[in-house]
Structure 1
Amino acid sequence: MMNLGIMVRGLSANTVAQKLIQFWEHDAGTLKVWRASSNFVYAFEHNQVPYFLRFSFEQDNSIEQIKAELEFMHYLQSNKFPCVSPIPSISGELIETIETQHGTYIAVVFSAANGTNLDSETITENQMEEWGKSLASLHCLSRNFEPVSERRKSWLDKVEFMENVFQKHPQEQEALQELSTVSSWLQSLPTTSDVHGLIHYDFELDNMFYKENEDHSFIIIDFDDAMYHWYALDIVSALDDFIDNDNLHSDLLVQSFLNGYGSVSAIENDVVNQFKQFQRYAKLYKFARLLSSLDYGEINEKPPWLDELRGKLIRVSDELRKSFQKSIN
């Protein structure tokens, strides 16, 4: 989740998106907001074919990190892994920028993914198995990936980010203590290529489009959270809606996912036992991002959606904070 102040400015009258879309061929009048979370994403059409404009503020991303993201996606595609494609601008560039009075916005355009989003309430065991196979296939390719230029950030960079956020909020001592505990545990883990590499870190159903009866059932979008971490974290974050549900059906779905994953890449028993620890890391990272998002200062003209979104983020933050207090106590 981006800083709410940046979100308000970036969405204001769609001014930034209207300027950025001029770099790409597009059908007039088709540009519209699709979603805004870690990035701004707008849908549009060119010759009635759908595309997506994604842009971010320089504070939240960098050209070097986006280049590293696109290089990884190109590598995956060259190895027949199904993900969306970046689309060159009119001038042939994959990345375009504009300067505003607030700073620089960085944009890319992607092809649309064919297929449908599945729902956690209706997904079948067979679909869960295919989902697990897809993630395992990505991890197998990641093991052999070596970037030519810039590398994506690592878990250590994210720990540094979290420390900086928590230190700006001295009342969050439980989170800082939890981070110290989890970081120490992570440092004790092996970092060999069979367990550690470049992960997607948002391999959830929202970022996957399902196509039945094809060799690769899922087409993947949104690699902007990719980082060097343990593959187990990718599994845990993907299954976030299903783990700890105290529901027999959810347990069956999780096992189907793991069966699918294991049919492509081995899962050691100790990795499954580590899922709880990786969940603790994921909660900390989410909490830090939420605190950073809520630290936006004064907004002169508040859009009607701001208070509702702010309230939702505060409620989620409060729940996460309670989990840190339980871990310590």
Structure 2
Amino acid sequence: MMNLGNMVRGLSSDTVAQSLIQFWEYDEGTLEVWRASSNFVYAFERNQVRYFLRFCFDQDNSIEQIKAELEFMRYLQLNEFPSVTPVYSISGKLIETLKTPEGTYIAVVFSAASGINLDSDTITEKQMEEWGKSLASLHCLSKTFEPVSERRKSWLDTVQFMENVFQKHPSEQVALQELRRVTTWLQSIPNGNDVYGLIHYDFELDNIFFEENMNHSFNIIDFDDAIYHRYVLDIVTALDDFINNDNSHSKLLIQSFLNGYRSITVLENDAVAQFPQFQRYANLYKFSKLLRSLDYDEINETPPWFDALKVKLVRVADELRQSFLKPW
């Protein structure tokens, strides 16, 4: 989640998106906002084919990290892993920038993913199994990936990020204590090539598109959270909705996912036993990003959607804060 002040400025009009789309070929009148969270995302068409323009402030991301993201995506595609394709601009660039009085925006364009989104309430055991296979296939490719230039950040960078955020919020002592526990635990577990590498870190249903007629494959989007971490964290964050539903059906679906994963690569029982600890790390990192998002400068005029979003983010942050009090 980006800083709420940046979100308000970026969505105050379509001026920035209209300026950025000029770097690419597009059909006039087709540009429309799709969503805004970590990035601003607009859908548009070129020759009646759908594409997506994604951009952010340079204070929320960097060109180096985006280059590393695109290099990983290119590597996956060369190895026939189904994901969306970055699109070159008119000038032959994959990344374009725009300087404005508010700051510099960084933009990329991607093809649209084919297939459909699945719903956690209706997904089948077979689809869960295929989902697990897809993530395992990504991890197998990650084990042999070596970036040529830029590298994505690692979990150590997230620890530093969280420390910086909590230093600005000295009242968050519970979160700071949780960070110390999480850091000590992460330092104590293995990080060899068989368990550690570049993960997607947002392999949830929103970011996977199921194609039933294409050998039940998934097309993947949103690699902008990719990070060097333990592969098991990718499983935990993907299954977050199911892990939090402690019922027999959710457990059956989780097992189907794990069966699919294990049909492609090894997943030790010890790693599965550590799901709760990895979930605590993910919750703490999410909490720190929410604090940063809510730490905005005064906004003179807020749009109609602002108050409801702020209330939601504050509520989620409060729930996460309470979860840090649970014993390890």
Q: TM-score, normalised by structure 1?
A: 0.99
Where in structure 2 are the equivalents of 1:1-329 lying within 5 Å? 1-215=1-215, 217-327=217-327
Measured against aligned partners, the alpha-carbon deviations of 1:76-97 in whole angstroms (never above 9, x if no partner) come to: 0000000000000001100000
CA distance in 2, matches of 1:16, 1:203: 29
Where does structure 1 lack aligned partners over 5 or more consecutive residues?
A: none
CA shift, 1:244, in A, is 3.3
CA shift, 1:215, in A, is 3.4
- 8 Å CA contact 1:130–1:260 kept in 2: the answer is yes
Measured against aligned partners, the alpha-carbon deviations of 1:147-177 in whole angstroms (never above 9, x if no partner) come to: 0000000000001000110111111100000
Q: Secondary structure at the match of 1:187?
A: helix
Q: Secondary structure at the match of 1:165?
A: helix
Q: Secondary structure at the match of 2:325?
A: helix
Measured against aligned partners, the alpha-carbon deviations of 1:8-39 in whole angstroms (never above 9, x if no partner) come to: 11111111101000000001110001110000
CA distance in 2, matches of 1:277, 1:94: 38
Q: Secondary structure at the match of 2:61?
A: coil
CA shift, 1:213, in A, is 3.3
CA distance in 1, matches of 2:123, 2:30: 32
Q: Secondary structure at the match of 1:121?
A: coil
Measured against aligned partners, the alpha-carbon deviations of 1:57-81 in whole angstroms (never above 9, x if no partner) come to: 1011000000000000000000000
CA distance in 2, matches of 1:302, 1:24: 31
- 8 Å CA contact 1:243–1:250 kept in 2: the answer is yes
- 8 Å CA contact 1:134–1:216 kept in 2: the answer is no
Read off the aligned partner of 1:24 and give its amino acid letter. W
CA shift, 1:121, in A, is 0.5
CA distance in 2, matches of 1:322, 1:165: 18
CA distance in 1, matches of 2:319, 2:18: 38
CA shift, 1:324, in A, is 0.8
Read off the aligned partner of 1:34 and give its amino acid letter. W
Measured against aligned partners, the alpha-carbon deviations of 1:100-136 in whole angstroms (never above 9, x if no partner) come to: 1111000000000011000000000000000000000
Q: Secondary structure at the match of 1:241?
A: helix
CA shift, 1:327, in A, is 3.3
CA distance in 2, matches of 1:12, 1:28: 21
CA distance in 1, matches of 2:243, 2:216: 25
CA distance in 2, matches of 1:213, 1:26: 30
Where does structure 2 lack aligned partners over 5 or more consecutive residues?
A: none
Q: Secondary structure at the match of 2:12?
A: helix
- 8 Å CA contact 1:115–1:209 kept in 2: the answer is yes
Identity of aligned residues (%): 76
Measured against aligned partners, the alpha-carbon deviations of 1:190-229 in whole angstroms (never above 9, x if no partner) come to: 1111100000000000001000032361000000000000
CA distance in 2, matches of 1:28, 1:301: 30
After superposition, the CA RMSD in angstroms is 0.8
CA shift, 1:279, in A, is 0.3
- 8 Å CA contact 1:178–1:327 kept in 2: the answer is no
Read off the aligned partner of 2:85 and give its amino acid letter. S
Q: Secondary structure at the match of 1:279?
A: helix
